[in-house]
Amino acid sequence: MSLLTKSLLSTYSHWVIFCRVVDNHGDLGVCWRLATQLTQRQKQVTLYVDEASALQWMAPEGCEGVTVLAWPEDNAALVPYAKADVVIEAFGCELPQTFQAAMAAWPKAPVWINLEYFSAEDTSLRNHGLPSPVMSGPAKGMSKWFYYPGLTEDSGGVMGGMSAMTNSGMTNISLKISLFCYEPASLGPWLQQLNELPQSVVLTVTAGRATQAVRQVIKTWSEPTTFVIEELPYLSHPAFDAMLGAHDLNLVRGEDSLIRAIWAGKAFLWQIYPQDDGVHHAKLEAFLKATHAPDVVVQAHLAWNAEQPTPLPLLTPSNMAEWTAWAQALQQSLQAQNDLVSRLEGFVSTHG
């Protein structure tokens, strides 16, 4: 990196991130990781969030350089917000009117970025980096930029910074599986498959919806499980990352845990966030195509995300070996690229 480039990057020192928590913890998880990784690059970050309670277990020690503030009300009196160099509107959460008015009054407009959800779809790649002029409201005349995280060099990349992990090797004695899910229709058949495996299985279930979903299935069984179920408390980000690294197969959901599972380099199964109009199916298929997923991985993902109970491929040694090889190839592909924060810095330096 040239001295000029370093100088340009260092001038964009104050970043503001806006985050609304919809109905899960993933949005806040992504924004918190982004904020902390920016501080590692000598940035000061202000994170506005409408529901910050999950940070009590997600990041109990906080992070020096990150200031967490409550979401400003649109009808609040205009306050003198500290000028920011970069403003990130995470996942389409429209900025408060008072903050838009403040930005418009600053001597130099910030780089305004609409951070979108991770996607491997062609339309996302085409829209990545395009400007969106603001046509009305207090920020009329300004522009914001679409930023799409993705898997390729021409996308926004993915979040890096994996925490230290303990990697366990798969053995014939025990299969270690972690479960972080919503309420998949195929959960019952899948748990029954685990119950019939010839090898011993330890199923680690994350707190919240996953634990409740598993309990609902198991209580209908007349016979006890043949596998061990370990229920976890809510985990901090470093503890969650380490947990993924210690398992042979990780079932994850949403966006943040998907990226962590990729960095873990273990076989994983993604439950994509379901949307009422069904567009998540196309998004999932684009991901599987872009990652050159083998048949066993494709079948497992389609079954796990099906709207009706659907059997998944059996967790045979050969299937697990192929699944793991795919995950490791994807991990290595992303390791060869710049991460999302590095690309964001470069994007800001050329659009400020």
Q: Is it the case that residue 6 has pLDDT exceeding 90?
A: no
Is position 255 annotated as part of the catalytic site? Answer: yes
Of 1.10.3470, 2.50.20, 3.40.50, 1.25.40, the CATH number of 174-335 is 3.40.50
The pLDDT mean for the chain works out to 91
Q: Which of 25-29, 34-38, 83-87 has the lowest mean pLDDT?
A: 25-29
Is position 116 annotated as part of the catalytic site? Answer: no
CA 161 – CA 190 distance, rounded (Å): 32
**In 3D, which of 43, 49, 48 has the Cα closest to residue 14?**
43
What per-residue confidence (pLDDT) applies to 180?
98
Average pLDDT over residues 202-206: 98
Catalytic residue among 121, 255, 285, 339: 255
Confidence of residue 75 (pLDDT cuts 50, 70, 90): low
* Delimiting residues of CATH 3.40.50 domain(s) in the chain: 3-157+338-351, 174-335
pTM: 0.92
Cross-strand partners of 146? 114
Please say whether the structural domain 3-157+338-351 has been given the CATH code 2.30.30. no
Confidence of residue 170 (pLDDT cuts 50, 70, 90): very low
Burial 298-317 (b: 16+ CB within 10 A, else e): bbbbbbbbeeeebebbebee
Strands 249-253 and 267-271, by their bridges, are parallel
Confidence of residue 77 (pLDDT cuts 50, 70, 90): low
Confidence of residue 275 (pLDDT cuts 50, 70, 90): confident
Confidence of residue 291 (pLDDT cuts 50, 70, 90): very high
Q: Is it the case that residue 171 has pLDDT exceeding 50?
A: no
Q: Is it the case that residue 2 has pLDDT exceeding 60?
A: no
CA 98 – CA 138 distance, rounded (Å): 8
